[in-house]
Structure 1
C-alpha cells in the first residue's frame, strides 16, 4: 500500500496543529445522546465517507463498502481528501464533517474526540472485534477517556526486511532470528566484500519519517509494548533508559563503516520508495532493505521485480530482541463516526469488521483481522507476510509518530534524526532536542 505520509510535510502538519488545540470549538455530535454510542433514528439514506486512501487501496475499499451499502439500501458519497489532515480539520471547523472518516493519524482523531466531535464504538462492537483483531491494534483507536473511537479498515506491515531472494541465497545468508543475529548478518555480508544495507529517508519536505519506522520497531523490541505505549503518550522521554537503546542499535547499523550503500549521509538523500532498488542490480548494491509492504507496489520496487515478486524478493520478518519475540509495527486507516445516525454507525461498524476487506485484499491490502482469508491476497509474498508476520504477531502497535503530538511525530522526530544522520549533531543532542520540543501538559 502506498504510504500517504509521503504526501505530508512537517510544515503543513505543524502549521495546522493549532486547529486541534483550541481553534475547533467543542461541540456535541449530530444526534448525540447519552454516551454517544447508541444509534439515533431510522438512519439517513445517504452516508458520506471521507478518506485519503492511495490509488492501490481506494478501488477495493469503494467496492467493499459500496456492496455493503447497496445490500442495506444505503447510498455512499465517497469523498477523497487530497490532504486529509488539513481538509478534515477545515470541514470540522466549518461544521461540515463527513458522516464517517478514515484517519491515518489516530492522534488527530483523539484530538477531535476530546472536543466532542466523534462517536465512540459501543462495548459490544469492541468486544466482537477484539476477538479477531491482531493483539493491541484496538489501542490505536482508544483515546484518553478510555473509549474506542476508531477501529482499522486495513493495515500496512512495517516490520519487514526485503531481500533479493536469489542474491541472498547465493551469498549463503539466512534469516536472522534476533537483533544480535541481524548485526552478525550485517558483519558477514560486509566481510564478504559486499554492502549490507540500503537505507532511505528522503521524502521531500517530509524527509526523515522512514527513520521513525526503524526506531518504533526497535522500541517495540527493546522496551516492549507497554513501554512503547508510555513513550507514545509522552510518559517516557526519548532520552530515557528504556527508549535510547533503540537509537543506539540503529546507530550501529546506520553509522557503521561500510554498512550502508553510499554511506551514512546518503540516507537522507535516498528516496524512501525506490531506495531499495539497488538490491536487484548486478551485482547487488545491497542485500537488506527495511520498508513497509507498500514498497512492493508500482512506484516502489522496479516493475520487472513486482511482476515476479514471488521469485525475485525474499521478505523476512524484522527480528525480535530474542528468538520467538515477534511484535509488529503497523500503519493504516482508522474508521470513526462524526454522528450517531443509525446508518452512519452501520457503515462505520462494517468498515471495522472482519466481513470487510474482500476486494481490498485482492488488490494487496491486509485485513487487521486474523481470520482473514490470506489466499485472497494477489501473490505468495503478501500471503506469507500476512500469515507469518502480521497474524503471528505477539503484539501489534500502530505507528508511534502518528500517535504523538504533531509537533513531535511529524516534526522533530523527523527533522532531528536527519541532522544526526547528516553529521550536524550527535545522538545526545538529537534526543534532547526532541524531548525539549514535546508540548507541555496543560
Structure 2
C-alpha cells in the first residue's frame, strides 16, 4: 500500500516509480551530486511509514560510515523498476526483493555480486532464510524483513471456531494487487497444501521436484475451489476486490462495507489496517482453512531479501550492516505496527510487553516444526507468473476440475531451459 514518504535533511526523499524511470525528470526527482561522498542507491518495496523507518536505519549506517550517502528509492513496482535499471546497465547498488526466484535468475545471468563470507552467520539465520540455488555454495542475498503467512486475522474479542472452514461468506478475500494480481489466491493454495500434505510434499513441489499434476497439488486446488464455490458471489467478489481494501480505508477486515470477519493474510496485514491495527488478532491457519484439522505443524513464511547488484567496499559494508543484530532489531521494532526479523537474536522480548500479537507471531516463527518459504516466491519467474494467472482463471469458475489448468503449468515448466535455477530447499 503506497503512502507518501517523509522528507527532511536526514534522509533524501523516497523516490517513486516515476522518478526512477525518468532519467531527465524534474529537479525534485533528480539525484543531487555530491563529489565529497560516495553515493549508494538502494531500491526497495517500502513506502510511507515503512520507508521512514528504513530511512532512519540508513541514517544510522551513514553516521557510522563517514563519507557515504545512501539514496533509498521506494516503490511497489520493485521488480519492474529493477529490471528496467538492469537492462539499461544502471542497476541500484543494492535492491530488496520479496521473490527469491527472481534473485536466483539474476544469479544465473551473472547480475548479482557474491557476498563476503563474513556478511551472514549461519547461526544467526537458520531455517530456510539462507536457502540458495541448487548446486551453489556462494551466498548472494540476506533476509532483511520476514512475514508469517500461515495465520488468519480477526477482530479481538471475536475468535473464530472450526465452523469457519465451511463458510466462505465469513472470509475477506481479494485477488487484486496491481501487476501481481492473483498471489493472494496462490497463498491460499500453498497453505492448504502445506497443512494437508505436509512440508516434504510442499518442499518437493516448490523446488520443482514434484509435478503440478501430482495428487497433493490437485487436492489443494480442489479443496480451495470447492470452498470458494460455497457461495454464488464469493469467487466473483474476490476477483473484483483489491486485497488492500478500498483506497483510504483500513483494509478488508475493517471495511465497513463488507460483512466478513476473517482474513487469511500475512503478518504484514497490520500495515493495511491503519488505525484499526490494534484491534486485530490472529490464529494459526492450520485449524481454520478448508480441509484442515489443526494438526499441521509447519508454517508458510515470506521475506524481503537484499542483494548487491554493484560491488563496492561501501555496498559490502551496507550489506554487512543490514545483516547485523543491531540493525535488525532497530528495523524490526522501529515502526508501528512492527516488522519481524529472521535473525535469531531478535526475540519476542524486543517487542513491548503489551504487544502480545507481535510476541505471539515471533513465537510462531520460533516454535514451528518447519518454516516453508512462499512457494510461488521461490519458483522461477515464468512459473510464478503463470501460477498467478491460472489462480485467477480457476477462480472465474471454481467448480471446474483444476487438472486442465495444472497440465498447462506443467507444460510450461517442462519447456524451461535446462539450466533454469531452482532453490535447493523451500522448507528449513
**TM-score if structure 2 supplies the norm length?**
0.75
Number of residue pairs aligned between Structure 1 and Structure 2: 371
5 Å-filtered alignment, 1:43-442, equals 45-80=38-73, 82=75, 83-126=77-120, 128=121, 130-133=122-125, 135-139=127-131, 141-142=132-133, 145-168=136-159, 173-174=160-161, 182=162, 184-187=163-166, 195-257=169-231, 262-274=233-245, 285-297=259-271, 300-301=272-273, 303=274, 305-306=276-277, 309=278, 312-319=279-286, 325-357=296-328, 358-363=330-335, 364-374=338-348, 376-377=350-351, 380=355, 382-410=357-385, 412-423=386-397, 425-438=400-413, 439-442=415-418
Q: 1:35-59, CA deviations, whole angstroms, 9 ceiling, x for partnerless residues?
A: xxxxxxxxx9443322232323222
Contact 1:137 1:396 (8 Å CA) reproduced: no
**Cα distance change on mapping 1:77 and 1:267 into 2, 3 Å:** same
- CA distance in 2 between counterparts of 1:90 and 1:284 reads 39
Residue aligning to 1:7: none
Secondary structure of the 2:230 match is coil
Structure 2: tracts of 5 or more residues without a match: 4-36, 419-428
Q: Tell me how far 1:327 sits from its aligned partner.
A: 2.5
**TM-score if structure 1 supplies the norm length?**
0.73
Structure 1: tracts of 5 or more residues without a match: 4-43, 175-181
Q: Tell me how far 1:351 sits from its aligned partner.
A: 1.1
Q: 1:7-39, CA deviations, whole angstroms, 9 ceiling, x for partnerless residues?
A: xxxxxxxxxxxxxxxxxxxxxxxxxxxxxxxxx
**Cα distance change on mapping 1:248 and 1:74 into 2, 3 Å:** farther
Provide the alpha-carbon RMSD of the alignment.
Answer: 3.2
